[in-house]
Amino acid sequence: MPVSNPFSSHRLFHFAGRIFFVLAVTLACPVRALAQPPVFTRVTGPNNPIVTDALQSAGGSWTDLDGDGFLDLIVLNGITLSQSNSLYLHASGMSFLRVVTGDIPNDAGPSNGGVWGDYDQDGHTDLFVARRNNAGNLLYRGLGDTAFVKVTAGAVVTDLANSNSGSWVDIDRDGDLDLYVVNFQGDDFLYLNGGAPDWPLTRTLVPTLTPGNEFSIHGAWADFDGDCDEDLFVGNAGSQNDYLFVNGGDLTFTKRGFPDQSSTLGASWADFDADGDLDLFVANFLHEFSILYRNSGAPAFTLTPVPTSVYVPDAANSVGSAWGDIDNDGDLDLFVANDGEPSALYRNAGPPGFALTRATSGAEIANIGNSFGCSFADVDRDGALDLWVANRLNQPNFLYHNDGPVGGWAAFRCVGSTPNRSGVGARLRVLATIGGSPRWQMQEVMPLSGYNSQNLELHFGIGGATQLDSVLVNWPSGARDTFTAVPAGRLITITEHQALVGVETPNPARARLRITTRNPFRGAIELAYELTEEALVTLEVIDLGGRKIATLDAGRRSPGLHRSRFEAPANLRPGLYWARLDVAGAREVVGLTLLR
């Protein structure tokens, strides 16, 4: 498929203190053969708009808008034209519905990137959209579900620039989400959040941060040096050097240069070698070699290109990139979206070398598009990461189902108790016994990744393990939470300094909660539990946020079998819910899936 050079016009889209101690036993593991590779199948179907809409798509961002437990997707369209963006709600399996009402799907323009974040701490997700060619950026305040109000006043929507990407990130560590916008051939925009009650976003000049007249495309925020504040990598196109801005606190940054002189369009942070710090993949365009940088860790935190024994650079038109454990073996794999040529999938061999081996076959490679953004997401909640790819030349986007095999896994949503309810910047370390050896993994909730792509959920593969031995959470506020013996095979919500939602705790009365009728269900579902001794019992149905839907049983109950029936209210949205049994201070939880 031919490539139209996005760097051809004069507009140039070109386009136009924490220290983490890592368990060292992984270094002693023998060389491990790659597990059976997963099979990706391209999703098709005439009534599935997420795979039939043909627009100039740049990237996409996932979030659960309607609270049904499944991820929804905003796709940004109109890179060089005036097109409306696409908002898709999960329907069932790998199928989606397109939202057609409201401002979001009807504001046409040259959109390039969009990111979700609850910047006003009202519990509803808000959306920022970066647009090119001085079209004016967009800000929508969430009202719940798919209802949004468009912000029409303030610097965020009146400042004009050739904007390529944006990120919600707590830059000044005051607890709320600020907004950073990367601009092409112009100073970037930093808007500091003034907090309650009005949550104003005020443009602030930070001389040590704004790059200036570079051909800046992508900004990737992450705490690469583990000091509790977010640092920024800026990728520059036009054969210019890239930059890393190291956050020194108090809105001061130290600039590090990368003398690569490459046309960088995207980048992704990840701890691919499981040593406890974040490494960086940089995607380069114009058939230049992409680069994988390994983080040396403390004290210097130097980023150095890995040797070819770990990753063989590919000269391609690379744009998007996404890390994810596609085979749930405990190591992060890498997908790279290429423009007009086959994309690339690299499987991680794990310890001790963590070599990335490029796949030579598969639908995700055979289907060629003018691909830009890409991301992994467990779309159908089967425990395997599926793959979405954006195509930029009025082509249908790609959605691939991961057919497995599916190993052990656990997924997390992080909810902060400070104004940063979106959990951006939260860092999770999990310990599981994989292949007989204890192994730590680390991931961070990042505001943006790859090329204008976002998924705030964290997914960990744990091989054949059935539980996480430890889960350690370092929150942006500086607080820490620790959980032990966390059951796997489920989506878990972690709210700062609260109990886990979606996880049972050991039950001294030996009660076992089970579902006795069909699940997923329509209308009603029956449950049963059995007590070995008399105990005080509460059985409730809750949503993923922990809000009570119904109380099915409450009071002191005698030993024996007890049955309950949940009849879903007529106005209850289809989706994933939890039946939660509390017995003498202990807890068991099972998932309930309500169908349409």
Res 23: pLDDT? 26
312-339 burial, b if ≥16 CB within 10 A, otherwise e? eebebbbbbbbbbbbbbbbbbbbbbbbb
Nearest CA to 173 out of 384, 532, 424 is that of 424
At residue 507 the predicted structure's pLDDT band, cuts being 50, 70 and 90, is low
The span from the CA of 5 to the CA of 132, in Å, is 17
* Higher pLDDT among residues 347 and 509, named by residue: 347
Peptide bond into 105 cis (omega under 30): no
Nearest CA to 110 out of 78, 134, 76 is that of 78
N-term to C-term CA, the chain: 40
Listed by start position, the domains of the chain span 111-376, 408-495, 513-594
Q: Where are the alpha helices (DSSP H) in 104-172?
A: 155-158
For range 187-197, the mean pLDDT: 94
User: Is 70 exceeded by the pLDDT of residue 27?
Assistant: no
The span from the CA of 275 to the CA of 111, in Å, is 37
Mean pLDDT score across all residues of the chain:
89
At residue 8 the predicted structure's pLDDT band, cuts being 50, 70 and 90, is very low
Token readout for 354 is 């963590």
Distances (CA, A) of 76 to 285, 318, 327, 502: 20, 19, 29, 32
User: Is 80 exceeded by the pLDDT of residue 279?
Assistant: yes
Res 575: pLDDT? 83
Distances (CA, A) of 229 to 18, 496, 556, 576: 10, 18, 49, 34
Res 80: pLDDT? 85
Strands (E) in 118-162, as ranges, are: 126-131, 138-144, 147-150
Res 503: pLDDT? 67
Q: What is the pLDDT of residues 212-240, one digit of tens each?
A: 788 999 999 999 999 989 999 999 998 88
Res 510: pLDDT? 56
CB-based contacts of 19, cutoff 8 Å, min separation 6: 226, 298
The span from the CA of 398 to the CA of 93, in Å, is 16
The span from the CA of 257 to the CA of 239, in Å, is 13
The span from the CA of 232 to the CA of 221, in Å, is 4
CB-based contacts of 347, cutoff 8 Å, min separation 6: 34, 37, 326, 327, 333, 356, 357, 359
513-594 matches 111-376 in CATH topology: no
Domain 513-594, CATH among 3.40.50.920, 3.90.700.10, 2.60.40.1930, 3.30.465.10? 2.60.40.1930
471 within 8 A of 482, measured Cβ to Cβ: yes
Q: What is the pLDDT of residues 436-474, one digit of tens each?
A: 999 999 999 999 999 999 999 999 999 999 999 999 999
At residue 12 the predicted structure's pLDDT band, cuts being 50, 70 and 90, is very low
The span from the CA of 251 to the CA of 168, in Å, is 16
Res 590: pLDDT? 80
Determine what percent of the chain falls in helix, strand and coil, rounding each to the nearest 5. Answer: 5, 50, 45
* Higher pLDDT among residues 534 and 61, named by residue: 61
Q: Taking the CA of residue 545 as centre, how many other CA atoms within 13 Å lie in the half-sphere pointing to its CB? A: 14
The span from the CA of 162 to the CA of 185, in Å, is 8
User: Is 80 exceeded by the pLDDT of residue 191?
Assistant: yes
User: What architecture is the 408-495 domain classified under in CATH?
Assistant: Sandwich (2.60)
Nearest 5°: the CA angle 286, 287, 292 is 105
502 within 8 A of 492, measured Cβ to Cβ: yes
For range 549-557, the mean pLDDT: 94
Nearest CA to 99 out of 107, 45, 401 is that of 107
Q: What is the pLDDT of residues 512-527, one digit of tens each?
A: 788 888 888 999 999 9
200 within 8 A of 157, measured Cβ to Cβ: no
Res 150: pLDDT? 97
For range 541-553, the mean pLDDT: 87
Res 211: pLDDT? 67
Res 547: pLDDT? 81
Q: What is the pLDDT of residues 562-578, one digit of tens each?
A: 999 999 999 998 888 88
User: Is 80 exceeded by the pLDDT of residue 30?
Assistant: no
Strands (E) in 223-341, as ranges, are: 231-236, 240-249, 252-262, 264-270, 279-284, 288-289, 291-295, 303-305, 315-316, 318-324, 333-338
Name residue 356's amino acid. L
DSSP collapsed to 3 states, 562-587: EEEEEECCCCCCCEEEEEEEEECCEE
User: Is 70 exceeded by the pLDDT of residue 31?
Assistant: no
Q: Which fold has domain 111-376?
A: Methylamine Dehydrogenase; Chain H (2.130.10)
* Higher pLDDT among residues 37 and 315, named by residue: 315
Q: Report the helix count and the strand count for the chain, using DSSP H and E.
A: 3, 49
Token readout for 580 is 């939660």
As beta bridge partners, residue 387 has: 376, 400
Range in 397-401, 470-474, 507-511 with the lowest mean pLDDT: 507-511
For range 483-498, the mean pLDDT: 92
247 within 8 A of 229, measured Cβ to Cβ: yes
For range 546-552, the mean pLDDT: 89
Bridge pairing between strands 409-415 and 491-495:
parallel
For range 28-57, the mean pLDDT: 80
Res 585: pLDDT? 66
Nearest 5°: the CA angle 460, 463, 468 is 55
Strands (E) in 126-238, as ranges, are: 126-131, 138-144, 147-150, 163-169, 178-183, 189-193, 201-203, 216-222, 231-236
- Percent of the chain with pLDDT strictly greater than 90: 72
At residue 15 the predicted structure's pLDDT band, cuts being 50, 70 and 90, is very low
Distances (CA, A) of 108 to 131, 136, 385, 537: 10, 11, 31, 54
Q: Where are the alpha helices (DSSP H) in 359-479?
A: 363-366
Res 61: pLDDT? 98
**Sign of the C-alpha dihedral computed for residues 248, 220, 414 and 201 taken in this order:** positive
User: Is 50 exceeded by the pLDDT of residue 109?
Assistant: yes
Name residue 264's amino acid. T
Res 427: pLDDT? 96
State pTM to two decimals. Answer: 0.82
The span from the CA of 161 to the CA of 182, in Å, is 9
User: Is 70 exceeded by the pLDDT of residue 152?
Assistant: yes
SS3 155: helix
Res 35: pLDDT? 61
The span from the CA of 462 to the CA of 398, in Å, is 27
For range 376-395, the mean pLDDT: 96
572 within 8 A of 558, measured Cβ to Cβ: no
Cα 195 from chain centroid (whole Å)? 25
460 within 8 A of 473, measured Cβ to Cβ: no
